[in-house]
Structure 1
Amino acid sequence: MNLDLPPAGPVFLPGAAADVPAEPTDLCLVVAGGKLLVRGDGGFHRVAEVPGDDDTGLVPLGTLDGVAVWAAPHETADDTLGDWRGWRELAAGLSEPLAALAGRALQVVTWRRTHRYCGACTTELTDVPGEHARRCGNCQLYVPMQLSPAVLVAIRRPAPTGPAEQLLLVRHSYGPTETWALVAGFVEAGETLEQAVRREVAEEVGLRVDRLAYFGSQPWAMSGPGVVLAGFTAYCPDPEIEPVVDGRELTQARWFDLDALPEALPPTYSISRWLIESVRVG
């Protein structure tokens, strides 16, 4: 199947080991809050270019085409240092591996900033070497960087007239509210991914679906540290049934002919858009 996906770029391999010190030519992503610092040409910095003269606080992220990549946490997005951009804006102009790298930098640094103390005894946590995890020196509580899986689903149905098919798109009450997106939601404890799909579809639009098929996954920095999206396709067998939105998370839900999808779709670097395009091309 030929999909209109972002072009392949450099190979990024996530990692957490810091076996050797950072080299001046290593890649380094400077992070403050929810933004990353970019150079004038829109690229990322090298270690030698990072503001400040102390590289002991660098956090390992992995390798990009064999070159070590680090994150440099900063307290504030100081405008005097250069151009700061949010992940949504930055990812729109990057190939998928580089967008994933930028998202990983944001997720890892945010997790480290928000998990400094033990949740059991309030002692300050210490890093576990070679892992993105921390441990309490007092009660020995082990705190890994937790993953938060979420699902999203492209639902098709037969068109009420003719042999064509339609795709269900929704508008959310939060985020980019004008975008037509897919039904999505977080997986709950004790659920399989497939059970989460069926529950979210029933809760948000009141539909029953079958023929679930796994599509792929993507880390998603927009929703917080550790979030990974798992995409599915599904089928609504009744061509007459209409969606009923929950009124909380969704404001609209509509069936669209595949040859007449709206223009306000999710960004091209998102798995939501990849799913939509895969259904559109058949």
Structure 2
Amino acid sequence: MSSDPPPTRPVFLPGAAADVPAEPTDHCLMVADGKLLVRPDGDFPRVADVPGRATEPDLVPLGTLDGVPVWAVAWETDDATLGRWLGWRELASGLTEPLAALAGRALQVVTWRRSHRYCGACTAELADVPGEHARRCPDCQLYVPMQLSPAVLVAIRRPGPPGAPEQLLLVRHSYGSTEVWALVAGFVEAGETLEQAVHREVAEEVGLRVDRLVYFGSQPWAMSGPSVVLAGFTAYCPDPMSEPVVDGRELTQARWFPLDALPEALPPTYSISRWLVESVRVPATT
């Protein structure tokens, strides 16, 4: 009796160094107006697909995908004659990891380069730092690395009624996908640890105190901005009688749901928010 081997997933290794010149068969992610180009066959373009064959300085190294170099290039307009231009949400919903992360990285790098062309101290035009996604001012030597914006999100549980499953706190936001039941989340402020940010966001958004904070994992999240990286946690609300009080600004609703009866309108399956929910979900009994 034989069985087919499990399918292998692509291996993406991030990198910023252009160790070898670009080849026509290398991957090349074209970015225009916050969207990426997808060929008619559903694949990312190759260097040979770039109209006019972008010159070497136009190509920005992103790393390698299964050993093949990956480049990014900024395009002026989302020309429909070249293929389909999709936002990261559409791309990520149809891509497996690490391809979704690769698409987010291309958006991040190209957007950062476009918005960091001049020195913020002396206004001189910045120069690329070889081997890094960073720039340096040739006049005053200001070093400008590509910066990330860390954010946290947390799956909060509390005890259920006697004999019943625990409950999970889910919220609805006043912006974005307002119909989705999501997790408490927010950006990390200067001087905060990730854990301190979780406690602050929970207190500010729903007025609760939590403990037993455990790190879950992280995910680049281009949907909230090209430089955002999410750090997920689980936490516990020890008081079974604690009820959330929404801040009225970012949140419109907050409710406790039994872990065996969660709502259908949950975050998308490709998100760390959904991964957190599924990690604590209890299968419903029939």
Q: Which range, TM-score by smaller chain?
A: over 0.9
Instruction: Give the deviation of 1:9 after TM superposition.
Output: 2.0
Confirm or deny: 8 A CA contact 2:218 2:229 kept in the other structure. yes
Instruction: Give the deviation of 1:224 after TM superposition.
Output: 1.8
Matches within 5 A, 1:143-162: 143-162=144-163
- C-alpha RMSD of matched pairs (Å): 1.3
Tell me, in whole angstroms, the C-alpha distance in 1 between the residues paired with 2:20 and 2:31: 22
SS at match of 2:276: helix
Confirm or deny: 8 A CA contact 1:151 1:187 kept in the other structure. yes
Tell me, in whole angstroms, the C-alpha distance in 1 between the residues paired with 2:166 and 2:156: 10
Matches within 5 A, 1:131-146: 131-146=132-147
Aligned partner of 1:272 in structure 2 is: 273
- The answer to which of 219-228 and 165-174 deviates more is 219-228
Instruction: Give the deviation of 1:40 after TM superposition.
Output: 0.9
Aligned partner of 2:215 in structure 1 is: 214
Aligned partner of 2:228 in structure 1 is: 227
Instruction: Give the deviation of 1:96 after TM superposition.
Output: 1.3
SS at match of 1:107: helix
Unaligned runs of 5+ in 1: 1-6
Tell me, in whole angstroms, the C-alpha distance in 2 between the residues paired with 1:60 and 1:83: 23
The amino acid of 1:222's aligned partner reads M
Count the aligned residue pairs.
276
Confirm or deny: 8 A CA contact 2:266 2:274 kept in the other structure. yes
Confirm or deny: 8 A CA contact 1:160 1:240 kept in the other structure. no
* 1:19-65 deviations in Å (ceiling 9; x for gaps): 21101111111110210000112210111112222332011000111
Unaligned runs of 5+ in 2: 1-6
Confirm or deny: 8 A CA contact 1:8 1:96 kept in the other structure. no
Confirm or deny: 8 A CA contact 1:219 1:227 kept in the other structure. yes
Instruction: Give the deviation of 1:161 after TM superposition.
Output: 4.2
What TM-score, normalized to structure 2?
A: 0.94
Instruction: Give the deviation of 1:281 after TM superposition.
Output: 4.5
Instruction: Give the deviation of 1:193 after TM superposition.
Output: 0.7
The amino acid of 1:113's aligned partner reads R
Instruction: Give the deviation of 1:197 after TM superposition.
Output: 0.4
Confirm or deny: 8 A CA contact 1:9 1:98 kept in the other structure. no
What TM-score, normalized to structure 1?
A: 0.95
> What is the percentage of aligned positions where both structures have the same residue?
84
The amino acid of 2:22's aligned partner reads A
Confirm or deny: 8 A CA contact 2:47 2:53 kept in the other structure. no
Sort the Cα spacing of 1:119 and 1:178 in 2 relative to 1 into closer, same or farther, 3 A.
Answer: same
Tell me, in whole angstroms, the C-alpha distance in 2 between the residues paired with 1:160 and 1:240: 10
Instruction: Give the deviation of 1:163 after TM superposition.
Output: 3.6
Confirm or deny: 8 A CA contact 1:8 1:95 kept in the other structure. no
